[in-house]
Structure 1
């Protein structure tokens, strides 16, 4: 497996070359980029093909692979919003992810399918998200890019059996799971999810979580929480996963390169658990 780190692990505004430099020097194999708001560092909705290709060249000069594209824009431009206009905007974000991935030689994008709320029922979230995803699957198929559905704290897809069914119902090899280990721990066991989702898993996010805290402040650096990393790693090996373990952690308050160094070492320890 490859060691990866998300751009969000560094302070907002960190130049891409510094992201790549810190990541290379820490020993990472890959960096996950995000489509960020306009005027942010890196990829945005306005990034051109030429700019995207240049980013690939810069990453390659640091001996780093670009394996996936994430985004936080779908939280405010949800695929399940009651407004058809907002859903269309969300769909446009996914389409931009696909197009950038195709340009940059990236095989997977991360998609948050929707958020259940007082105003958006579970049924609406399920049906609307599948409806919108079916509209972008042909583009994903055309460019041979996988849409990785992530399990996040969105009150949706709360069991591995349901997530597996949700993916299977879309009936496309271009839809899979972007599995987040730490996000599961509040209501399940990641090693069980891994075995049930099996080869549906296209990419993996890693972070740790302290269940005794039980809220957003419970997310902690790798090895500092309650994830049973030995069981997680063994389960990943059992399903034949050989791709990237991408760390998605909050930046350190000072000395951002230290997080990269610490996390790369923690990933090495995790990969020694078989």
Structure 2
């Protein structure tokens, strides 16, 4: 397993006005081996980034010695492939096609996507579940041939979107496609927010897990109903059992920490916690 950090964990996240060179330097400075880039419709890396620009960025990456083989995008939060608006759905598919092409031009092997929204605290969309499934399937049927041509894994993240809250449903949905480029980007901390046990998800999803993201979550089950994301190791994720489960399925790709919100010590704290939890050296 490879110790990594998400571009979202840097100051200002995707709106970061610093260069990718700066992010690469900080990745090394704080003891991470890998960096996961972020792509959106605005910012340093966008769906309009040219192939020539990508090649320059890849040369910078290679010169840095930092491992970069994945990108993440949250385009679906604002422009969802499951939207009730057909024009928005078409735009979402086009933007994700462009994101895949940028990933391919950068030499990345995985793209994290949010698989649309049924209902979420961070989106105004409310979509009937069966319609969301049909619309996502349509979107993936457009995207997977591109992913195959580019040799980029299209990885659906489990997020707070009212969608795929069962590992069995998610497993069977992935298996309903013939493409081996469709997989899962398992976010460990997100599972705790809807009362799930990460080791069981890992056992059930197994090799369908293409990439792993980590954060921690603290839930206080009392009359206040309070909860919060927190430092790695300070929450309710059963880390030993989770890491053991990853080892059982022989997961060897990146472990990307996505830690928000930024503060001036979050990278150093996160790096130290990952070393302790995963025995990174």
1:199 is the counterpart of 2:207: yes
1:164-175 superposed matches below 5 A? 164-175=171-182
User: What's the offset of the Cα at 1:215?
Assistant: 8.0
Aligned length: 268
1-structure distance, mates of 2:56, 2:188? 32
Aligned counterpart for 1:125 among listed residues 132, 141, 145: 132
State the alpha-carbon separation in 2 of the partners of residues 36 and 144 from structure 1.
21
**Residue in 1 that maps onto 2:94:** 92
Deviation, structure 1 residue 37: 3.4
Q: Deviations over 1:37-67 (max 9, x none)?
A: 32x2x21122111111222222222211112
TM-superposition CA deviations, 1:96-141 (whole Å, max 9, x none):
2211121111111011111113741111111110111111111111
For 1:114 and 1:90, how far apart are their aligned partners in 2? 10
Indicate if the aligned counterparts of 1:20 and 1:31 stay in contact, CA closer than 8 A: yes
Aligned to 1:222: 232
Name 1:243's counterpart in structure 2: 253
Distance 1:148 1:264 in 2: 24
Residue in structure 2 matching 1:76, options 71, 75, 78: 78
Q: Secondary structure at the match of 2:68?
A: strand
CA offset digits 1:142-198 (Å, max 9, x no partner) = 111111011000010011111101111122101000000000012210111011000
Q: Secondary structure at the match of 2:212?
A: strand
CA distance in 1, matches of 2:262, 2:139: 37
Name 1:33's counterpart in structure 2: 37
Q: Distance in 1 between matches of 2:261 and 2:63?
A: 24
Aligned CA distance change for structure 1 residues 215 and 208 (closer, same or farther; 3 Å): farther
Matches of 2:179 and 2:81, distance apart in 1 = 18
1:64 corresponding residue in structure 2? 66
Aligned to 1:234: 244
Whole-angstrom CA distance in 2 between matches of 1:216 and 1:251 = 18
Q: Aligned partners of 1:31 and 1:270: how far apart in 2?
A: 19
1:51 alignment partner in structure 2: 53
Q: Deviations over 1:56-104 (max 9, x none)?
A: 2222222111121111221111001122211111111221221112111
Partner of 1:177: 184
The unaligned stretches of length 5 or more in structure 1 are: none
Q: Which runs of 4+ in 1 moved over 4 A?
A: 213-217
Provide the alpha-carbon RMSD of the alignment.
1.8
The equivalent of 1:159 in structure 2 is: 166
Q: 1:20 to 1:216 in 2, by over 3 A?
A: farther
TM-score when scaled to structure 1?
0.93
Aligned counterparts of 1:169 and 1:9: Cα–Cα separation in 2: 34
Q: Determine which of 253, 261, 264 is the counterpart of 2:268.
A: 261
